[in-house]
Amino acid sequence: MQQILTAMATEGMVLAKKIETPEGRVLCGKGTVLSDTVLARLRSMDIQHITVEGHPVPVEGEKSLEEELAELDRRFSLVTDVAPLMYLKKRLRARLIAARRS
């Protein structure tokens, strides 16, 4: 999942978290597919940020999943036979992948 500015949202994106007013009233539920009408309403209500599924908006300077995995491999390249460190590498790899899917 990725938090983005509402101004960057486009039709077809799917909400990963519900959108609430400061008073706690739910405007859109998790799983809502954004339409131009919904986006216009959110912008008119001055909703600045939303959280969408996946990672649809590239952020300048942010590494791709492939770059992050390559960096992880590079950092652990000298450690090939230490079981706790190899377990840690495996867990970090799984966490990086899961973070991009959600």
Q: Check pLDDT > 70 for residue 102.
A: no
pLDDT of residue 93 exceeding 80: yes
Q: What is the pLDDT of residue 99?
A: 80
CA distances (Å), 33 to each of 38, 81, 82, in order?
Answer: 9, 47, 46
- pLDDT over 70 (residue 91): yes
Q: Give the mean model confidence (pLDDT) for residues 10-17.
A: 94
Is 0.75 topped by the overall pTM? no
Alpha-carbon separation of residue 47 from 4, 39, 44 (angstroms): 11, 10, 8
21-46 pLDDT, tens digit each: 888 899 999 999 999 999 999 999 99
Q: Which CATH architecture has domain 2-52?
A: Alpha-Beta Complex (3.90)
Q: What angle do CA 43, 47, 48 make, to 5 degrees?
A: 100
Q: Where are the domains of the chain?
A: 2-52, 65-101
